[in-house]
A and B are shown apart, each in its own frame.
Chain A
Amino acid sequence: MNLKRVGNQTVVFANPPVILSSYSVVGPKEGQGPLGKSFDKVWKDGINGEKSWEIAESRMLQEAMQGAMDQASIQKEQVDFMLAGDLLNQIISSNFAARQMALPFIGLYGACSTMALGLAVGSMLIDGGFAEKILVGVSSHHDTAERQYRLPTEQGSQRALSAQWTVTGAGSVLLSSSGVGPRITSATIGKVIDFAVKDVNNMGAAMAPAVADTILNHFQDIQLQPTDYSLIASGDLGGVGLGLACELLKQSGIDTGTNFTDCGVLIYDDTQDVHAGGSGCGCSSVVFAGDILQRIKAGELNKVMLVGSGALHSPTSALQGESIPGIGHAVVIEK
C-alpha cells in the first residue's frame, strides 16, 4: 500500500489538510521591514521584559501558537499534536513553549526549513488519519542565534556581504482535517545535499543546491512546471542563494521565470543593512504565516510552493572543517 506517495520524494494528500488560521510575531527590525504590516504582532524590542533572549524567543513562539488558536477560536483541548522547532541547541525554545502549552509535542529540527517540514509532517499526520488538528510553530531569534552560532552581540566586527541576518520571529499555523481555508495539497521531502560549501558566512550558497534538488524532484514527481504555480518561495536563501538556486535550476533545464522568490529576500529591504537578506527558521515561518497566506486568502495567489531551506551544520562541525549539508522541503498550498 503506497497510495499517497508519488514519484521518489513526494506525497499527494487524498484529503488535503486545511490551514484554519495562522499567526506571526516578530521583532522590531522585521516590523520595520517591507512586510511589517503583514505580521500580527510586532514586539518593541527583542527581549520583551524576559530575563534572557532564549526565554524571550520561547515566549514569542508561545504567543504565535496561542494567536493561531485564538484566530480560529480553537481551544487547546481540540489540538491533537503540537509540532515545533527552532535553531537553538536541543530546540529549547520549542521545548519550553511546549512545557507551557501542555500539548502532545513532537519536536522538529530542520534548521531554517522547519516551517515547511512541520507543515509536511503535520499534513501527513492529518491525512493519515492520526490527527484532526495540529498546531505547527517555528521560531528564531537574532540574538540567541548570534550568541550560539557566532559572536557575542556587542562584539564590534564586520559581517561578510554574503552573510544573512537571523530573523527574530515566530510563526504558527493551525492545520485541520476539515474546515475552510487554503489547503496543503502535496509535499516533497528533501534529501540532504552537500556541494562542499564550507563558508558559514555564505549559508545561502550552502543551501541552494538542496533547494534546487527538491524543486527538480518535485516537478519530476508530480509532472508539473514552474508556470503551474503562482509563486515559488524558498525559505531563506537570501540574495546570493536565490541567484545560485535559479542558476542550478536553469542548468537542470527548469526555467524559474519571474514567480520564484525567497522569504529571506522579501523580509528586509536594502536600507536595513542585513547584507544578503534574512535567515533563521523564523524567516520563512513569519513570511508564510503573514504575507503569503494573506495573499492566498485574498485571491492574489492560487497555488504556492514553499521550499524551506536548512543548513544542517553546527559550530562544532564548521570548526572541524566539515562542509555545510543543506536540505530543502517543499509544501504546496492551494487556495
Chain B
Amino acid sequence: MMDNQSSSKPAIPVSPEKYQKLTEQYTPKPTVVKNIILAFIVGGIICSIGQIIINFFVSLGLARLEASTAATATMIFLGALLTGLGIYDEIGKFAGAGSIVPVTGFANSIVSPAMEFKREGYVMGVGAKLFTVAGPVLVYGIATSIVVGFAYYLLH
C-alpha cells in the first residue's frame, strides 16, 4: 500500500479508500432516466411490431398460440438479420435494455458471436463460442424454469 512517505521515495498521499470516493466523484453518473425512457420506447416499439405480426398470422387463420410461436420465430429472424446487417448493435447502443430484453436481443446475442468467431473455424470458433453471451441466460433461465416447474407440480 501507499504508506511509504519518506522524502526519498515520494508516494501519493491518498489511501485506496479515499481514492474510491474520488473516483466516484470524477466518474460521470449513468444517465438512468434517459436510458429508461429510451428502453421503454424502443422496447415498446419492438413488442408492438411483434403484436402486429401476431395479428397478421391470426388474420391468416392461425390459432392464437400458434400465431405467437410463428411471430416469435419471425422476430428472431429479424433480430438475426439486423445483426448480420450491422444494424442491431447501433439500435442496442441507443436503446440498451429496450433492445436486449425482447427475443430480438436474444437472437443478437447468438448471432453476434457466431459472426465474430467464424474466423476461428466452425468447431472451436462458432461452435464453442456461440453461447458466450447467451450461455448464462440459458443456464439460469432453464434452471429457474425447472425450479418453477417443480413448484407448480407440487402445488397442483
Contact call A216/B10, Cβ cutoff below 8 A: yes
Q: Which of A8, A154, A209, A252 contacts B83 (CB under 8 A)?
A: A154
Q: Quick check: is B141 within 8 A (CB to CB) of the other chain?
A: no
Chain A residues with CB below 8 A from B145, complex form: none
Contact call A205/B35, Cβ cutoff below 8 A: no
Chain B residues with CB below 8 A from A243, complex form: 26
Q: Number of A residues whose C-beta is below 8 Å from B?
A: 37
**Alpha-carbon separation in the docked complex, A54 to B30 (Å):** 32
Contact call B28/A161, Cβ cutoff below 8 A: yes
Contact call B23/A248, Cβ cutoff below 8 A: no
Given the known A-B contacts A157-B100, A161-B30, A196-B19, are A51 and B119 also in contact in the complex, defined by CB atoms under 8 Å? yes
**Alpha-carbon separation in the docked complex, A209 to B115 (Å):** 38
Contact call B113/A152, Cβ cutoff below 8 A: yes
Give residues of chain B (33-92) contacting chain A, Cβ–Cβ below 8 Å.
35, 83-84, 86, 88-92
A interface: dominant SS: loop
Chain B 7-31 interface 0/1 with A at a Cβ cutoff of 8 Å (1 = within) = 0111111101001101100111111
Chain B residues with CB below 8 A from A248, complex form: 12, 14, 19, 22
Give residues of chain A (47-61) contacting chain B, Cβ–Cβ below 8 Å.
51-52
Contact call A153/B19, Cβ cutoff below 8 A: no
Contact call A202/B27, Cβ cutoff below 8 A: yes
**Alpha-carbon separation in the docked complex, A202 to B19 (Å):** 13
Q: Smallest CB-CB separation from A53: which chain B residue?
A: B119
Contact call A155/B89, Cβ cutoff below 8 A: yes
Contact call B132/A152, Cβ cutoff below 8 A: yes
Chain A residues with CB below 8 A from B26, complex form: 205, 240, 243-244, 247
Q: Quick check: is A160 within 8 A (CB to CB) of the other chain?
A: yes
Q: Which of B13, B28, B119 contacts A240 (CB under 8 A)?
A: B28
**Alpha-carbon separation in the docked complex, A156 to B79 (Å):** 11
Enumerate chain A interface residues (CB-CB to B < 8 A): 8, 51-52, 147, 151-162, 193, 195-197, 202, 205, 209, 212-213, 216-217, 220, 240, 243-244, 247-248, 251-252, 273, 276
User: What are 13 A-B pairs with beta-carbon distances under 8 A?
Assistant: A147-B116, A152-B112, A154-B89, A155-B112, A156-B88, A156-B99, A161-B27, A205-B23, A205-B27, A216-B11, A217-B10, A220-B10, A276-B28
Enumerate chain B interface residues (CB-CB to A < 8 A): 2, 8-14, 16, 19-20, 22-23, 26-31, 35, 83-84, 86, 88-93, 95-96, 99-100, 105, 108-109, 111-113, 115-117, 119, 132-133
